[in-house]
Structure formats: structure tokens, C-alpha cells
Amino acid sequence: MRTMSLQDILFTQGFGTRRVCAGLIQQGFVSVAQHTPTDPAMEFVVQGLRFTVRGVAWEYHALAYLMLHKPAGTECSRKPSTWPSIYTLLPSPLRLRPQKGAVQGVQAVGRLDQDTTGLLLLTDDGKFIHRMSSPRHHVVKVYEVATRHPLDDKQVSKLLDGVVLEDDPKPVRASACDAVAPHHLRLTLTEGKYHQVKRMVAAVGNRVEALHRSQIGGLVLPGDLAPGRWRWLGEDDLALIAG
């Protein structure tokens, strides 16, 4: 089984430079299985390793996959222009995980507008980001849409048949569309364009008042994950996303 020095384990998990990580260990701020090793070079099996740093419990992950319940009034950017960044909702190690590229830490898989809420995936796995973002994979995304005007069968039919957006002459279709209530539309898409939901709803003569992403692939945003909260994704979760 793969082993790694405690110093390198902390470094890969985003707890600082190797020198900082060595200092944390030597000063007794790191514990493993209720022991407090002080040798940064001490080796541990990384699979399933749990440890604490300054009393904060952590588990080793070679790659990070997580979900965030994005609240309204936040931007999916590391350098937000107006609203707070979603990355401020994450603990420091997730923001500082080292990568080969210039950008450090986990990255959002796609973006949601500042006023859009719901399920957002984050990872430091570049291949996963590419696969999820590629139009060839047609990853299902389900949105709960609050509309300004009452919905009717004609609007639903148009969204299913396809509407033309300004920047693309090819009709864009919803793979599923259901008027759950007079002002509640559940819209399922398998592609992502700029402001797509808002523009599609506008194209059938209505307007989006609130937008919430409830599902990606087979992964549904848990009802007990409050806005602004996050959690790790397990293998079962990733299998649901991959479909």
C-alpha cells in the first residue's frame, strides 16, 4: 500500500508549504490515531488516513471531489467582481491544495450565476472537469425554475421542441420539461450555454424569477445540505454523476 511522509501528506492536502507542514508537525499541532508524531519524515499509509491539524479533523484524499450547495449572492470566481466568492465557503486546505498548473485548490465544475442557487461540483481533477464540461458527454442537469408568469402547455411544448437563441441558429431543446405548479418549471438540460435557462424561458415569452439546480446526472442535492455548506463525494456519488 502506498505510504508517504507526514510532511508530504499535509502538503498534498493543502496545509501549507512543505516547510510550514514540517513546522506544524514538529510543534505538535498534528495528531494521527491519537498520537502526536514530531518527525516530519515519519511514513504513513495514505489510504483512509485520518488525522487532525490544530484540532481540525481531516481525511487524506488523493484527489478532491465535493459538492457545494451554492447560496444566492455568490460568484463562481476566485476574483469576484461584486459578490463574495464561493471559495470563501470552503476551508483553507481545499483552496490551497497544490497542483501542477498555476491555479491552486479545487475548481468549480462549470459556473452558476450569482443569483442562481443549488448543486455545484468542485474538484482538483482536471480530467473530471474536462469530461463533465464536454458537450459530447451530455451530462444531465435539472433546474427548478420560478417563473414570473403562469406556465401553460404551449410554453412547455416549445421548450421540448426547441427554441432558437440569439447566438446560435440551431434550436436548443430541453430533454425534459414539466410544469410542476403554475409558476414552477422543472427543466432538464444536457448541454450548457451562457444563461441558457433564462434565455430559453425568455424565448417562450416568460421570465425567470429564481433558478435552482437540483441535480447533476443521477446525483441529487441532499435536502439536509444547507445553503453555503459542502461535503465530500464518495465513489457512489461519482458513479451517479457518471451515469
**What is the set of active-site residues?**
113
Distance CA 157, CA 178 (A): 10
CA distances from 204 to 156, 165, 217 (A): 9, 11, 26
C-alpha cell at 70: 451554492
User: How far lies 117's CA from each of 2, 41, 192, in Å?
Assistant: 39, 44, 16
Q: CA 9, CA 46: separation in Å to the nearest integer?
A: 8
The grid cell for 189 is: 438540460
User: Does residue 201 contact residue 151 with C-beta atoms inside 8 Å?
Assistant: no
Residue 31 phi/psi, 5-degree rounding, is: -130, 145
